[in-house]
Amino acid sequence: MASNPTSRTPRVTIGVCGGVAAYKAAELVRTLQKINIDVHVVMTRAAQEFVRPLTFSSLTGHKVITSMWEGNAESPPTGLDDQDQIEHISEAQAADAVVIVPATAHVLAKMAHGLADDFLSTMLLATTAPVVVAPAMNVNMWNHPATRANIALLRERGVIIVEPDSGYLACGMTGSGRLANVEAIAQAVVAALAGIPQDLAGETILVTAGGTREAIDPVRFLGNRSSGKMGYAIAEAAKQRGAQVILVSAPTSLLPTAGCSFVPVTSAEEMHQAVMEQLPRATVVVGAAAVADFRMPSVALEKLRREGALHLDLEPTEDIMRSVVDAHRPGMIVIAFAAQMDADVSHARAKLIAKGADAIVLNDVSRPEIGFDSDRNAATFITSDAAIDIPEMTKREMADRILDQVLGLRKVIVGAP
Ligand SMILES: Cc1cc2nc3c(=O)[nH]c(=O)nc-3n(C[C@H](O)[C@H](O)[C@H](O)COP(=O)(O)O)c2cc1C
């Protein structure tokens, strides 16, 4: 988050619940503090079986709230904070955002049904701040119809869900349920503080990016000038707007956004294979990669020597967007990109129709100030019956404009994700 000397430090309350991943909440405290966020912590009783409050009070410099009924025989609980305010209400109002890490199946159920039997769940009912939850649990608990229904209900109410990752779980099983990457959770908190709408929640957006490389011999390749910046900007924007993102990328010098499923590839053939493998999960495909049109039928095993002229016989590569459209499922939205040496809409629309995509983003790469390797771009978003000019702006801004158009298409394309 950019620091602004005139604005006050945002305050985030982390609710820590009783799961194995409770220790990762300590890492989130540090990550948020590094971006100038004042972090407070509330722990459930079960959370304290996994991590001691001392860890969080030492890290945050604030008292950790562990119960609604703090006190003892000599000093019975008052429910009041240091300013004599009712503590679960004052904490709820003081928070600019609340993030639950890890969110147990139990706390999700309580949130969905409005239960308020401890400090955290009562505070969650009393807050009007954005709420981010990062669930972590056993794969069967995550897939249980009760948890699925609770997640759907919470999402419908505007709770921001940072979906768990797939992989090896503490219980020894493999599957979905591992706490999302802490960077991705921090990013969702930052987006919540900035009021970025989570209007792509529920979508899984597969983005291709970068320029593929087609090997000639062990040291040389046929490449192109794509930097990958447009595709990476789309991946970042989609992630910040609540989508699940799969980024299939040819080599670039860029760092993928935290929390994306990142699939690195080199050649058009590898990109084709990766896209087709990931496609069953995708509700939207954005083909922003510059994919080679031709490759060597076979790669020389030895480095080619300079012995006079060299003639390369090339064969066409796979048409990735064509394959995507052929494997189209109801409700899936496909956005292609066209790099042209002009801004001829009819030519781009012919390509759109030939490919069978829902829209095509026309880039005029003859303009040196925009396009390849530039941080800026201008484009035309073309559908079968409309051509919307997107004037020159940063690629990050353009990413949001393209995703706005995707949302527009979602409203008319039957089969929500
Ligand atoms: C060793 C152990 C690990 C657990 N891990 C998880 C977990 O990762 N996710 C989860 O939802 N529940 C987990 N549980 C169950 C919760 O601790 C239990 O449902 C508890 O009531 C949650 O309380 P809370 O939501 O108030 O923190 C675990 C329990 C134990 C004993």
Cα of 90 vs centre of ligand 1, distance in Å, is 27
Q: What percent of the chain has pLDDT over 90?
A: 71
Cα of 310 vs centre of ligand 1, distance in Å, is 66
Nearest alpha carbon, ligand 1 atom 22: 18
Query: Over 70: is that where the pLDDT of 417 sits?
Result: no
* 254 ligand 1 Cβ < 6 A: no
Q: Which CATH class is domain 11-193?
A: alpha beta
The pLDDT, as a whole number, for residue 202 is 83
Residue 261 is encoded by which pair of tokens? 């499923």
* 101 ligand 1 Cβ < 6 A: no
Cα of 46 vs centre of ligand 1, distance in Å, is 7
Point out the catalytic residue in the list 171, 215, 279, 327: 171
Out of 104, 121, 142, give the residue to mutate to test ligand 1, the one with the largest number of ligand atoms within 8 Å of its CB. Answer: 104
The pLDDT, as a whole number, for residue 373 is 72
Provide mean pLDDT across the span 126-154.
96
What's the maximum distance between 2 C-alpha atoms anywhere in the chain?
96
Domain ranges of the chain: 11-193, 204-412
* 46 ligand 1 Cβ < 6 A: yes
Query: Over 60: is that where the pLDDT of 291 sits?
Result: yes
Query: Over 50: is that where the pLDDT of 160 sits?
Result: yes
Mean pLDDT of the chain: 91
The pLDDT, as a whole number, for residue 375 is 86
Amino acid at 130: P
CB of 244 closer than 8 Å to CB of 181: no
* 104 ligand 1 Cβ < 6 A: yes
> Given the CA of residue 110, which atom of ligand 1 is nearest to it?
25
Out of 20, 51, 118, 165, give the residue to mutate to test ligand 1, the one with the largest number of ligand atoms within 8 Å of its CB. Answer: 20
Nearest to 97 by CA among 18, 24, 40: 40
Range name among 1-5, 42-46, 133-137, 372-376 with the lowest pLDDT average: 1-5
How far is the C-alpha of 413 from the C-alpha of 331, rounded, in Å?
6
Cα of 49 vs centre of ligand 1, distance in Å, is 10
Provide mean pLDDT across the span 41-51.
97
Provide mean pLDDT across the span 295-315.
93
The pLDDT, as a whole number, for residue 3 is 41
Cα of 8 vs centre of ligand 1, distance in Å, is 36
The pLDDT, as a whole number, for residue 314 is 96
> Given the CA of residue 16, which atom of ligand 1 is nearest to it?
27
Query: Over 90: is that where the pLDDT of 88 sits?
Result: no
Query: Over 60: is that where the pLDDT of 4 sits?
Result: no
Nearest alpha carbon, ligand 1 atom 4: 19
The pLDDT, as a whole number, for residue 7 is 66
Q: Is 61 exposed, middle or buried (0-12, 13-18, 19+ CB in 10 A)?
A: exposed
Residue 30 is encoded by which pair of tokens? 């540090």
Rg of the chain on CA atoms, in Å: 25
Q: Of residues 315 and 343, which shows the higher confidence score?
A: 315
* 136 ligand 1 Cβ < 6 A: yes
CB of 228 closer than 8 Å to CB of 250: yes
* 204-412 has the same fold as 11-193: yes
171 belongs to the catalytic site: yes
The pLDDT, as a whole number, for residue 414 is 61
* 407 ligand 1 Cβ < 6 A: no
346-366, pLDDT tens digit by residue?
888 988 988 899 999 998 877
Q: What percent of the chain has pLDDT over 70?
A: 95
227-237, pLDDT tens digit by residue?
999 999 999 99
162-182, pLDDT tens digit by residue?
999 888 777 777 777 899 989
Query: Over 70: is that where the pLDDT of 6 sits?
Result: no
> Given the CA of residue 17, which atom of ligand 1 is nearest to it?
27
| The domain over range 204-412 is classified in CATH as 3.30.70.141 | no
* 20 ligand 1 Cβ < 6 A: yes
| Runs of H (alpha helix) within 367-394 | none
CB of 118 closer than 8 Å to CB of 45: yes
> What crossing angle do the helices spanning 24-34 and 182-193 adopt, rounded to 10°?
50
* 108 ligand 1 Cβ < 6 A: no
Q: Of residues 218 and 414, which shows the higher confidence score?
A: 218
Query: Over 90: is that where the pLDDT of 1 sits?
Result: no
Question: Which runs of E-coded beta strand occur in 234-358?
Answer: 244-249, 261-264, 284-287, 294-295, 315-316, 333-340
